[in-house]
Amino acid sequence: MLVRFWGNRVADRVSQRAALTPLVFLVEFHPQIRAAADPGRMQRLLHDAGGGRIGLTGVRELVIGVPDIEPEIERWQALLEPAPALGAGHWQLPSGPAIRLESSSGVSGRLICEVKDIDAAAAFLREQELLGNSTGDELHIAPAALAGLDLRLVPA
């Protein structure tokens, strides 16, 4: 954006200066993006769309794998206060998914979403060749189809 308005030289100088000092900026998002700040509205939009072809009803949990869990639990607790803790490294946000930390050899993440009908979701994913390794009542979407994202579907 800077290059477009001021050219390469000025944009480079502005970037160098910005890197030296803390920077605060304000962005006004498109109304659809801004709606994400209103979870109730987003839930209604999802409901009105019927959850799409997989019958998505919402996000249940974000699971984050970290190598050194104890200091991360403290950092996340400070960040998420006053969200109620469900246990060590596990929080329930007031209007959103739970966040859970787990010990891992490296940083990793997994998103667990809820669907109305797990069998219908499985059939759709199979038809689209998106069904990964699945166990019991948990469907895994093939990570290769999602650039490596670990996305799982569970019954609502």
Q: Quick one: pLDDT at residue 2?
A: 44
Residues 139, 122: contact at Cβ < 8 Å?
yes
Q: What are the φ/ψ torsions at residue 54 (nearest 5 degrees)?
A: -95, -5
- Domain containing residue 140: CATH number: 3.10.180.10
- Pick from 95, 92, 91: nearest CA to 42: 95
Q: What is the pLDDT of residues 32-54, one digit of tens each?
A: 665 556 767 777 777 888 888 88
Do residues 31 and 87 share a domain?
Answer: no
Q: Quick one: pLDDT at residue 120?
A: 92
Q: Where does 49-117 have alpha helices with state H?
A: 69-80
Q: Quick one: pLDDT at residue 32?
A: 61
Number of domains in the chain: 2
Predicted TM-score (pTM) above 0.85: no
Residue 42 lies in a domain: no
Strand ranges (DSSP E) for the chain? Answer: 56-66, 85-87, 90-92, 98-103, 108-115, 139-140, 150-155
Q: What is the mean pLDDT of the chain?
A: 81
Task: Mean pLDDT check: name the lowest of 92-96, 98-102, 119-123.
Answer: 92-96
Residue 43 lies in a domain: no
* Mean pLDDT (whole number) for 52-69: 91
Q: What is the pLDDT of residues 65-95, one digit of tens each?
A: 999 999 999 999 988 888 888 999 999 987 7
